[in-house]
Amino acid sequence: MPDKRVTIKDVAAHAGVSLATASRALSGTRPMSEELRSRVMASAAELNYQVNLLGRALRQQRHPVVGLSVPDLENPFFASLTEHMSRTMRAAGFELLVSSAGGSVEAEAEGVRAFLGRQVHAVVIIACDEAQSAETVQFASSKALTIQFDRRVEGAPATFVGCDNRYGMDLIAEHILTTAPPAKEVIFVGAGAKSSSARERLQGFEQHFPGARTMLGTFSLAWGITAAEQLIAEGTHNATLVAAADIIALGLISGLRSHGIRVPEDFRVIGFDGIGPAAFAHPPLTTVRQPVEDMCASILDLVRADSNDLDPGASSPHGKQVLHYEPKLVCGT
Amino acid sequence: MPDKRVTIKDVAAHAGVSLATASRALSGTRPMSEELRSRVMASAAELNYQVNLLGRALRQQRHPVVGLSVPDLENPFFASLTEHMSRTMRAAGFELLVSSAGGSVEAEAEGVRAFLGRQVHAVVIIACDEAQSAETVQFASSKALTIQFDRRVEGAPATFVGCDNRYGMDLIAEHILTTAPPAKEVIFVGAGAKSSSARERLQGFEQHFPGARTMLGTFSLAWGITAAEQLIAEGTHNATLVAAADIIALGLISGLRSHGIRVPEDFRVIGFDGIGPAAFAHPPLTTVRQPVEDMCASILDLVRADSNDLDPGASSPHGKQVLHYEPKLVCGT
DNA sequence: ATGAAAGCGCTAACAC
DNA sequence: GTGTTAGCGCTTTCAT
């Protein structure tokens, strides 16, 4: 049964001091006599006092809260990004609000609106849809520091932090060309062009393998399985499959093996992202690992820079920046 | 570049009405002339006005926000629970705040404190540690409606919503005894007793297979792989492995197969939870699926009941309740 | 139907 | 070093 609400007023009364003194004691922002301070702290503890951050934020006109919008937490890559962001922000004294769009742009918009209504210091958004999320990113940018993460939308004036997908494909192409039998067919199993990452990876692939076959679905295990079955039904043998994401690659492997096809003997499968389970696959998946830690650190820097910006909009260039991080090849096979 | 802050005062001034009128027009809480209302709405739109939820919450002394604390988002079962909670709450008009503890009870405590400071209507917590999280649950209970989800701590006066782990083990035992060759050794691969779910599943197993071997690690893919390697190193052949979670089961399969061992021919593996990837394994993992949707709906009911409770603590019994949901066997093999 | 004003909990000027 | 007070943005009596 929750306590009756206890405010700083109650603490002050209990300690026999003024509100200001109680506030100063609790936030430790001003020097004061040790005797009073400890008396206030004792009262606070006794009354089970907990600061009301709403009141504080309203008064201070700022609070250390960052909102993160992700497309879908069932996708392990996004779950991992969220976990890393959570750690990074917490360590730096920022609270992280998370909203999962569950694949819906409407839900995404609603989540971001809620962030802004809650006066978050910054919005970090992994956009659901390259086209349809643009409005949401635009809107967020008009209200708070907004950072696009991993996926970019068209023409929004918000800084982007993500990995260099083209370069990642360069690494994969190089790996294939230096290790695979040249006769082997190379097939791209990607996702529809609803996100910049899907598009860039596809384009990167096409640049290296012009005319090669491409199959597009969604970033999901299910699509990988479906694609595998399609390939089997068509009688495809012995190909190198380049997946646009580890989750698709794992689906491919699962789908191939369930039909008795050997990986990597019959089919070779290569992933992208570097999620945990990829390393544990049998054999370990060859993939391109995104430098998630570096990207999170970069976002923190941006948030901090804006935080220190006492004259907002003056010194810091709020223009669009693009911060690309280099992924690294992780050879499994 | 963010706008200068625009408040309801600006809207009122722009529309040439009082603050009260502007507020009523925007929240639609009172009847008023259509002409004024539309004028206010137009001004709000023109000024790109966005309500400040901090001010509203402070004034109303409540807001429709629920905090969810999870142990670790890299665990796909928790990611899935989070995704489901997000959908459920959003659909019901509640905003969901998510905090991931990343396995640390300190981080968990910090996250929950932040929730409470933010005056959340309810706290839903999947406790990290059966013993060490007790204090945090206790504390949350003293400040807001608190619901324990999936994992329970010792002696906290907070309602619990989760699946009936003992019953789940009954189902698994029955399945094994009716389908496996009796000679096959049965081994439990679980997690240390840091959570109630780990403990209950272990106890459920021991009840059906007294004296059977048990191996305890963590709820992770890595532990499943390690356990598999340990079994192989010992020369174990042909056993039925009961994993305490799908994620462990998937690790076991991966570990076994990487040494050329066939599943399910040589070893049979059974999981628990019913996460998505389990269904896509090859062959599909036999597991016990938790009724996640029902559990989320149940939590929503509890939150709503408390929400409607205008005289808090009077009608609703804020005592400890235990709501068990029945898992269902999903046969993969 | 509309406006004036109080006040949610908190902190930061400003007095003393 | 401590107290008094204004006010952050909002809703909601209470008047009119």
Residue A183: its pLDDT value, please?
Answer: 65
Q: Is the pLDDT of residue A310 over 60?
A: no
B191 and B250 in one domain?
yes
Asked if strand C comes closer than 7 Å to A4 Cβ, the answer is: no
pLDDT digits (tens, 9 = 90+) for A312-325: 443 345 567 999 99
What is the number of alpha carbons within 13 Å of residue B153 lying toward its C-beta? 25
Contact A82 B90 (CB under 8 A): no
Band of pLDDT at residue A258, cut at 50, 70 and 90:
confident
A195 and A158 in one domain?
no
CATH number at residue B269: 3.40.50.2300
On whether residue B235 sits in a domain, the answer given is: yes
Rounded CA gap, A84 and A274, in Å? 14
Asked if strand C comes closer than 7 Å to A26 Cβ, the answer is: yes
Band of pLDDT at residue A29, cut at 50, 70 and 90:
confident
Phi, psi angle pair for B329, to nearest 5°: -75, 130
Phi, psi angle pair for B216, to nearest 5°: -115, 130
- Beta carbons of B303 and B145 less than 8 angstroms apart: yes
On whether residue B331 sits in a domain, the answer given is: no
Band of pLDDT at residue B182, cut at 50, 70 and 90:
low
B229 and B195 in one domain?
yes
Say which residue, A282 or B237, is predicted with more confidence. Answer: B237
Say which residue, B150 or B319, is predicted with more confidence. Answer: B150
Band of pLDDT at residue A235, cut at 50, 70 and 90:
very high
Closest residue to A86, CB basis, from B87, B100, B116: B100
Closest residue to B313, CB basis, from A1, A280, A312: A1
On whether residue B223 sits in a domain, the answer given is: yes
- Percent of chain A at pLDDT above 70? 95
Contact A74 B73 (CB under 8 A): no
Closest residue to A52, CB basis, from B119, B255, B277: B119
**Mean pLDDT across the stretch B140-146?**
95
- Beta carbons of B228 and B252 less than 8 angstroms apart: yes
On whether residue B327 sits in a domain, the answer given is: no
Residue B314: its pLDDT value, please?
Answer: 39
Rounded CA gap, A25 and B34, in Å? 51
CA/C1' separation B143–D14 (Å): 33
Q: A165, exposed or middle or buried, with CB in 10 Å at 0-12, 13-18, 19+?
A: buried
Band of pLDDT at residue B183, cut at 50, 70 and 90:
low
> Which chain A residues contact residue B251 at CB under 8 A?
280
Residue A312: its pLDDT value, please?
Answer: 43
- Chain A residue at shortest CA distance from B54: A54
A300 and A158 in one domain?
yes
Residue A318: its pLDDT value, please?
Answer: 53
Say which residue, B193 or A108, is predicted with more confidence. Answer: A108
A56: nearest nucleotide, CA–C1' criterion: C10
Closest residue to A74, CB basis, from B80, B257, B258: B80
What's the whole-number average pLDDT of chain A?
A: 92
Rounded CA gap, A292 and A305, in Å? 20
Residue A181: its pLDDT value, please?
Answer: 73
Q: Is the pLDDT of residue B221 over 80?
A: yes
Q: Is the pLDDT of residue A306 over 90?
A: no
- Alpha-carbon distance values, A40 to A200, A227, A294, B117, B135 (Å): 58, 66, 42, 19, 23
pLDDT digits (tens, 9 = 90+) for A129-188: 999 999 999 999 999 999 999 999 988 889 999 999 999 999 999 999 998 776 689 999
A104 and A64 in one domain?
yes
The answer to whether B212 contacts chain A (CB < 8 Å) is no
What is the number of alpha carbons within 13 Å of residue B253 lying toward its C-beta? 27
A42 and A98 in one domain?
no
B197 and B138 in one domain?
no
Q: Is the pLDDT of residue B36 over 80?
A: yes
Q: Is A45 helix (H, G, I), strand (E, B) or coil?
A: helix
B133 and B32 in one domain?
no
Q: Which domain holds residue A222?
A: 165-289
Cβ atoms within 10 Å of B61's Cβ, excluding its own: 9
- Which element (helix H / strand E) includes A56? helix A53-60
Least confident among A282-296, B29-43, B297-311: B297-311
B158 and B143 in one domain?
yes
SS (H, E, C) chain B: CCCCCCCHHHHHHHHCCCHHHHHHHHHCCCCCCHHHHHHHHHHHHHHCCCCCHHHHHHHHCCCCEEEEEECCCCCHHHHHHHHHHHHHHHHCCCEEEEEECCCCHHHHHHHHHHHHHCCCCEEEECCCCCCCCHHHHHHHHHHCEEEEECCCCCCCCCEEEEECHHHHHHHHHHHHHHHCCCCCEEEEEEECCCCHHHHHHHHHHHHHCCCCEEEEECCCHHHHHHHHHHHHHCCCCCEEEEECCHHHHHHHHHHHHCCCCCCCCCCEEECCECCHHHHHCCCCCEEEECCHHHHHHHHHHHHHHHHHCCCCCCCCCCCCCEEEECCEEECCC
| Strand D proximity list, CB < 7 Å | A 17-21, 24, 30-33, 35-36, 55, 58-59, 61; B 5, 7-9, 19-20, 23-24, 26-27, 29, 51-52, 54-56, 58-60
- Evaluate the omega torsion of the peptide bond into residue A291 and state whether it is cis, within 30 degrees of 0: no
- Model-level pTM? 0.95
Residue B290: its pLDDT value, please?
Answer: 98
Tokens of B198: 């780990």
Residue B300: its pLDDT value, please?
Answer: 98
B116 and B67 in one domain?
yes
A254 and A109 in one domain?
no
Q: Report B:62-121 residues touching A (Cβ under 8 A).
A: 72-74, 76, 79-80, 82-83, 86-87, 90, 95-100, 102, 107, 110-111, 113-114, 116-119
pLDDT digits (tens, 9 = 90+) for A61-76: 999 999 999 999 999 9
Least confident among A261-270, B80-89, B305-314, B323-332: B305-314
Least confident among A303-312, B49-58, B219-228: A303-312
pLDDT digits (tens, 9 = 90+) for B109-138: 999 999 999 999 999 999 999 999 999 999
Residue B319: its pLDDT value, please?
Answer: 64
Nearest to A317 by CA among A327, A306, A326: A306
On whether residue A330 sits in a domain, the answer given is: no
Residue B260: its pLDDT value, please?
Answer: 86
On whether residue A303 sits in a domain, the answer given is: yes
Residue B333: its pLDDT value, please?
Answer: 66
- Beta carbons of B53 and A117 less than 8 angstroms apart: yes
Beta-carbon pairs below 8 A across chains A and B: 153
On whether residue B208 sits in a domain, the answer given is: yes
Closest CA of chain B from A290, distance in Å: 16
Tokens of B296: 């989320």
- Evaluate the omega torsion of the peptide bond into residue B283 and state whether it is cis, within 30 degrees of 0: yes
Measured over the CA atoms of residue B106, residue B109, residue B112 and residue B116, the dihedral's sign is negative
What is the number of alpha carbons within 13 Å of residue A108 lying toward its C-beta? 26
Rounded CA gap, A146 and A112, in Å? 10
**Mean pLDDT across the stretch A90-103?**
96
The answer to whether A316 contacts chain B (CB < 8 Å) is no
- Residues facing A97 on adjacent strands: A67
Contact A3 B143 (CB under 8 A): yes
| Residue length of chain A | 333
Q: Is the pLDDT of residue B231 over 90?
A: yes
Residue B312: its pLDDT value, please?
Answer: 43
Domain count, chain B: 3
Q: A225, exposed or middle or buried, with CB in 10 Å at 0-12, 13-18, 19+?
A: buried
**Mean pLDDT across the stretch B64-85?**
97
B301 and B284 in one domain?
no
On whether residue A328 sits in a domain, the answer given is: no
First to last CA, chain A: 57
Residue A314: its pLDDT value, please?
Answer: 39
Residue A311: its pLDDT value, please?
Answer: 45
Rounded CA gap, B272 and B247, in Å? 8
